[in-house]
Amino acid sequence: MLPDIDAVTRDDLMRLITKYRLRPIKRLSQHFVVDPTVIRDIIKHVPGGSRVLEVGTGIGVLTYYLAGWLLR
């Protein structure tokens, strides 16, 4: 379980990526969202109760926090 979005840091997310030896594939233009400020900004633009289809979930950090936002 990840910490609350207000408590997570970029370093926390980078440790998670390192722990599981995850690397984006550059030729596929993959990127992992690791900046909590960006995650918060995305989430605040999604109205509560919305249905969301996230394509290319990467390591799932945005999905995790988005699901928590939508299910509260």
DSSP class of residue 3 equals P
The whole-angstrom separation of Cα 28 and Cα 23 is: 12
Which SS3 state, helix, strand or coil, does residue 66 take?
A: helix
pLDDT in tens, the chain (72 residues): 788 888 888 898 888 889 989 888 889 888 888 889 999 999 999 998 889 998 888 888 899 999 988 887
* pTM of the entire predicted model: 0.77
Output the pLDDT for position 46. 93
- Does residue 68 contact residue 2 with C-beta atoms inside 8 Å? no
Domain boundaries, the chain: 10-70
Which SS3 state, helix, strand or coil, does residue 52 take?
A: coil
